[in-house]
A and B are shown apart, each in its own frame.
Chain A
Amino acid sequence: MMDRALVLGGIIFGLLLAAPFVLPLLGAGYLAGLLIKAMLLAIAALSLDLLIGHGGMVSLGHAAFIGVGAYAGAIALESGIEEILVLLAITLVVTGAVALATGLLALRTSGVYFLMITLAFGQMIYFTLTSLAAYGGDDGLTLWTMGTLFGSDVVQNDGGLYFVVLGMLFLTWWGIYRMSRARFGRVLRAARDNPARAEVMGYAVNRYRLVAYVIAALIAGVSGLLMMQHAEFVSPTIATWQHSGDLIVVVVLGGLATRNGAILGAFFVVVIEEVLGSFFTEWRLIYGPLLVLMVLYAKGGLSDLLVPRQTQGKHP
């Protein structure tokens, strides 16, 4: 039996890999930048899907980890560290520590209380970032240097960065898929479906949830670091709870706990925003009803429209 989700994934990555070789014909800079933006959103959305789709933990503070990752990188860069692998290590350590500390507390709750506590932590992080006066405060920080890879500038132009971001997207996509099929993912799914049952199978459910929470935060942190490198600018607005909400929209729109849903959702949102935004300033007037229609009539998200799940019957 053909794995249609895998085929769709192959098509997506094939197109993304081919794009830079075709795009120069279409006027390079703008489109490459747009694709990088969409891929970065997709990475963050995939990580949030690990929480929401696979783990059943709806967080309203996930974007804060993007902010933590971006600022950890930016502050290290400002203090003179330019090697991007070192920046990556710093981002991972800082994001991981913040995730571990907030996760330990947040996971004492579940459901709507988890939503509230992640919202609170997210806002605490957001306001912390706005209070960093030395690093731009509310206005954000424009960076005058960029990370380098072993002293080389390949990760500084859109061309090189494009492939780095694509590589990270692929790793995230593939890694989360493997994880979801492995022992860890199975326990996470059981804990989502019926936590009491999972406990009585002998699983300390919260330990698995915490690990998923930290992994998701680490991925979001890396997407923040790459966002910083791409934009040469960081701003606290990437850490707002509104941005966390946008990420939830992307994941739900694409299809929860599906292989390609988060990527489809991210590209859909970025394209819609660009296309509608170029015609109307009030493009959200159209975007809103479009979301309503999608949620009402395509419950499995974009992923289900393209690759209907085999086990379930069609919707009546």
Chain B
Amino acid sequence: MSTLKIRNLNKSFGALHVSRDVSFTVPEGACHALIGPNGAGKTTLIHQISGVLRADSGQILLDGRDISDLSVSARVQAGLGRTFQITSVLPSFTVLENLAIAAQAKSGSSMRFFRDAAEERALNDIAQATLERVGLGSRAQIPAADMSHGELRLLELGIALVAKPKFLLLDEPMAGLGRAEGAALVTLLGDLRASIPMLLVEHDMDAIFQLAHTVSVLVEGAIVAEGTPDEVRASAAARAAYLGGDAA
């Protein structure tokens, strides 16, 4: 059983064809990377998978289930976790509360009006355990607004992990990270990918070569090359379109 299957996705904004018949499959235990120059349609594709945008045609299957018509929140409930290209957390919440409220979404109804949510042990325990997992165990009580950029990236990943996703959508997780922070994140993602398959949209080629099993190259909305990182590096189409002088 494959985990995420994209079938013939098409999307246009007026005359601009931003996704052209995009198809790929990310199997169990795999990390699939999506690369391409700016404006290739990577973010639009991510938006279609996560549900921010609806595709004009085509299907998105998660564990065999067609999720193409679900809302953003319903896709998350169905098991699709994601991180944002631009860091997105709840700045006025503490670090722990950011994770506790994410856990709350997966644990019974949130239409509860009386009991103090901050005192729910079960939620706080999941939150704390996830904090330890992403290496932020000691930062639990800090307001998220006071965290460094690198820590926020980890917190975001933690928010996605709390929901025990079946699949992770990572939109440029390395953006803006320093060398050491980036290396730590690569190690963390490397540990995760065996248990949670992931789609990685990234500019950082080192990270891609370390993490990805397979790579698709997106140019002007269409996939022009696909294969292992080494195959893609060697592919003329990919080099012409994207890697160019950068990887030579």
Contact residues of A with B, CB < 8 Å?
A: 175, 178-179, 181-187, 189-190, 193-194, 196-205, 208, 211, 311
Contacts and interface: CB of A to CB of B under 8 A. Distances in A.
A182 B115 contact: yes
A108 to B, nearest CB: 14
Contacts of A182: 112-117
User: Residue among B92, B113, B117, B118 with the most chain A CB within 10 A?
Assistant: B113
Contact of A178 (B91, B102, B105, B114): B114
B90 interface: yes
Contacts of A197: 84, 88-90, 159
28 contacts: A179-B113, A182-B114, A182-B115, A183-B109, A183-B113, A183-B117, A184-B112, A184-B113, A185-B113, A187-B110, A189-B90, A190-B93, A193-B90, A194-B88, A194-B89, A194-B90, A194-B91, A198-B90, A199-B73, A199-B76, A200-B88, A201-B163, A202-B76, A202-B77, A202-B106, A203-B73, A204-B71, A211-B111
Contacts of A201: 73, 76, 101-102, 105, 159, 163
B48 to A, nearest CB: 15
A200 B74 CA distance: 9
Given A197-B88, A311-B143, A203 B105 contact: yes
A300 B160 CA distance: 34
Given A190-B93, A311-B143, A200 B76 contact: yes
Contacts of A179: 113-114
Given A184-B111, A184-B113, A187-B101, A200 B50 contact: yes
B85 to A, nearest CB: 12
A204 B72 CA distance: 8
B82 interface: yes
A201 B160 CA distance: 8
B104 A186 contact: yes
Given A190-B93, A202-B77, A203-B105, A181 B50 contact: no
A190 B90 contact: yes
A201 to B, nearest CB: 5
A185 to B, nearest CB: 8
A181 B76 contact: no
Given A201-B76, A205-B73, 6 more contacts: A179-B113, A185-B113, A190-B90, A200-B82, A202-B163, A311-B143
